């Protein structure tokens, strides 16, 4: 089966005209343009021979009804405000093109291909709302408090989109044997290594923390250095020492960030009595995450005592790493190797709908290179030749899977 490059690119370009903003698109979940794009997609899927509809969460789902079992292919068509034209759209239009290939060439081993565009992956109201709803997770309490930046509630957004009362679409584990999601890399690794395909091994886990150092406010001119309880100095030492420790204890994939520092009272002539840092780190190994957390605790203790301060360290956010199905990872590698396409096994540092699906069915992700590593911005782009290559490799991997879906 061969994808038709001109059709794939034409659909991507056409979708990018809906909500077009400069060279990117502005289609936050449930906005007028987001819903226009979803209606457009529903009609395209219908024209490709799928039974397609928009459900009560805003997901667009196209089903190949003549098959009893299917591979599910998709991503999301909502964007961040003033975002790029490929984030999410790429994986959805891959699904549309592959569904056409199946329609033209016939089912593979009796297996069909269903297509989905999940709603609000980007978290305009509630991150991964569509995929979590599709997988029948209970999001009621989160929906109740979910609001957009302008204060609109998710409930109002659903009403405004005119989808209230639509029938829900749900994951069917008898039918959906695997989930494949293609996405732009959103980072520079493929480009800098000259690789065309990223084979995602896992989506990294995230832990975020707030640390507060407590000292004593004193006059910065009259209090001798040795007598100070300097929360600010402890916090600065902590920030520097943390990077040092993480470099030696983390994996080559580990990343971390100190995102905010605040001193109180915040004047040049007052020794700070409180200093807060907010930081996070990511890795695909639970062991590494634990090791970095222990290092943060130990480092905080050392830095506090060096400046006669105390500290509280609080974990404020946690997301577990999600492994992709190793068999599917192997099939993507096999498909890339068969066409002599250079591929790189790599973790995803960003979250994706595949994180949700992977909890229920074997799931895999394929990345294509991002020019300059740019994303979530109108400058986001990928060479057309790379878009085309990625689609063919993914279709080949799906065909390999369809020929022997039950092999463990
Ligand atoms: Zn995305």
> What's the gap in Å between 65 CA and the centre of ligand 1?
27
Q: What pLDDT is attached to residue 344?
A: 97
Burial of 234 (0-12, 13-18, 19+ CB in 10 A): buried
CA 264 to CA 235: how far, in whole Å?
12
Q: Tell me the residue length of the chain.
A: 408
Angle at 105 between CA 95 and CA 115, to 5 degrees: 20
- pTM tops 0.75, yes or no: yes
Nearest to 355 by CA among 175, 200, 251: 200
As given in the structure block, the two tokens for residue 167 are 């029938």
> What's the gap in Å between 262 CA and the centre of ligand 1?
32
Is the previous residue joined to 57 through a cis bond, with omega within 30 degrees of 0?
Answer: no
Q: What is the pLDDT of residues 113-154, one digit of tens each?
A: 999 999 999 999 999 999 999 999 999 999 999 999 999 999
Asked whether residue 408 carries a pLDDT value surpassing 70, the answer given is: no
> What's the gap in Å between 30 CA and the centre of ligand 1?
16
Model confidence at 156, in pLDDT bands (50, 70, 90)? very high
> What's the gap in Å between 24 CA and the centre of ligand 1?
14
> What's the gap in Å between 90 CA and the centre of ligand 1?
9
> What's the gap in Å between 270 CA and the centre of ligand 1?
45
CA 67 to CA 81: how far, in whole Å?
38
**Mean pLDDT score, 98-118:** 96
Q: What is the pLDDT of residues 220-274, one digit of tens each?
A: 999 999 999 999 999 999 999 999 999 999 999 999 999 999 999 999 999 999 9
Burial letters for 368-390: b for 16+ Cβ neighbours within 10 Å, e otherwise? bbbeebbbbebebbbeeebbbbb
Mean pLDDT, the chain, as a whole number? 97
> What's the gap in Å between 79 CA and the centre of ligand 1?
8
Q: What pLDDT is attached to residue 407?
A: 73
List the shell of residues around ion ligand 1, using CB closer than 5 Å. 87-88
> What's the gap in Å between 122 CA and the centre of ligand 1?
7
**Mean pLDDT score, 67-95:** 98
Q: What pLDDT is attached to residue 12?
A: 98
CA 395 to CA 399: how far, in whole Å?
6
Burial of 272 (0-12, 13-18, 19+ CB in 10 A): buried
Partners of residue 210 on adjacent β-strands: 278, 314
Q: What pLDDT is attached to residue 406?
A: 83
> What's the gap in Å between 73 CA and the centre of ligand 1?
14
> What's the gap in Å between 88 CA and the centre of ligand 1?
4
> What's the gap in Å between 199 CA and the centre of ligand 1?
16
> What's the gap in Å between 395 CA and the centre of ligand 1?
20
Q: What is the pLDDT of residues 380-398, one digit of tens each?
A: 999 999 999 999 999 999 9
Scan for tokens 């609001």, then name that residue: 147
As given in the structure block, the two tokens for residue 33 are 């343009």
Is there a contact between 41 and 60 (Cβ–Cβ < 8 Å)? yes
**Mean pLDDT score, 171-197:** 97
Q: What is the pLDDT of residues 284-303, one digit of tens each?
A: 999 999 999 999 999 999 99
Q: What pLDDT is attached to residue 4?
A: 98
**Mean pLDDT score, 293-319:** 97
SS (H, E, C) the chain: CCCCHHHHHHHHHHHCCCCEECCEECCCCCCHHHHHHHHHHHHHHHHCCCEEEECCCCCEEEECCCCCEEEEEEEECCCCCCECCCCCHHHHHHHHHHHHHHHHHCCECCEEEEEEEECCCCCCCCCCHHHHHHCCCCCHHHHHHCECCCCCEHHHHHHHCCCCCCCCCCCCCCCEEEEEEEEECCCCHHHHHCCCEEEEEEECEEEEEEEEEECCCCECCCCCHHHCCCHHHHHHHHHHHHHHHHHHHCCCCCEEEEEEEEEECCCCCECCCEEEEEEEEEECCHHHHHHHHHHHHHHHHHHHHHCCCEEEEEEEEEECCEECCHHHHHHHHHHHHHCCCCEEEEEECCCCCHHHHCCCCCEEEEEECCHHHCCCCCCCCCCHHHHHHHHHHHHHHHHHHHHCCCCC
**Mean pLDDT score, 193-198:** 97
> What's the gap in Å between 392 CA and the centre of ligand 1?
20
CA 93 to CA 7: how far, in whole Å?
10
């Amino acid at each position: 089966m061969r994808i038709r490059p001109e059709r794939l690119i034409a659909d991507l370009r056409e979708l990018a005209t809906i909500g077009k903003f400069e060279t990117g698109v502005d289609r936050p979940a449930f906005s007028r343009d987001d819903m226009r794009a979803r209606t457009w997609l529903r009609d395209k899927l219908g024209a490709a021979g799928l039974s397609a509809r928009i459900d009560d969460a805003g997901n667009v789902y196209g089903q190949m009804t003549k098959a009893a079992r299917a591979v599910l292919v998709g991503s999301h068509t909502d964007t961040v405000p003033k975002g790029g034209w490929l984030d999410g759209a790429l994986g959805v239009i891959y699904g549309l093109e592959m569904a056409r290939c199946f329609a033209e060439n016939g089912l593979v081993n009796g297996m069909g291909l269903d297509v989905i565009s999940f709603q609000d992956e980007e978290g305009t109201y509630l991150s991964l709302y569509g995929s979590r709803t599709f997988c029948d997770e209970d999001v009621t309490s989160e929906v109740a408090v979910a609001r957009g930046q302008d204060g609109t509630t998710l409930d109002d957004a659903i009403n405004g989109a005119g989808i209230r009362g639509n029938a829900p679409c749900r994951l069917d584990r008898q039918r959906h044997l695997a989930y494949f999601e293609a996405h732009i890399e959103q980072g520079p690794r493929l480009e800098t290594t000259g690789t065309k395909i990223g084979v995602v091994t896992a989506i990294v886990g995230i832990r975020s923390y707030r640390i507060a150092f407590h000292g004593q406010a004193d006059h910065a001119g009259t209090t001798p250095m040795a007598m100070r309880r300097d929360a600010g100095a402890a916090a600065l030492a902590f920030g520097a020492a943390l990077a040092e420790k993480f470099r030696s204890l983390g994996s080559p994939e580990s990343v971390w960030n100190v995102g905010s520092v605040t001193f109180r009272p915040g004047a040049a002539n007052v020794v700070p009595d409180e200093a807060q840092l907010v930081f996070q780190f990511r890795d695909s190994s639970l062991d590494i995450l634990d090791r970095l957390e222990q290092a943060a605790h130990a480092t905080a203790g050392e830095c506090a005592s060096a400046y006669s301060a105390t500290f509280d360290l609080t974990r404020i956010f946690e997301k577990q790493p999600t492994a992709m199905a190793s068999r599917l990872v192997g099939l993507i590698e096999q498909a890339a190797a068969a066409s002599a396409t250079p591929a790189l096994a790599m973790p995803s540092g960003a979250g994706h709908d595949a994180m949700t699906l992977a909890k229920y069915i074997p799931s895999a992700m394929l990345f294509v290179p991002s020019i300059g590593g740019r994303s979530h911005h109108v400058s986001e782009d990928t060479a057309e030749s790379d878009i085309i290559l990625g689609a063919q490799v993914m279709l080949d991997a799906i065909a390999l899977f369809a020929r022997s879906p039950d092999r463990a």
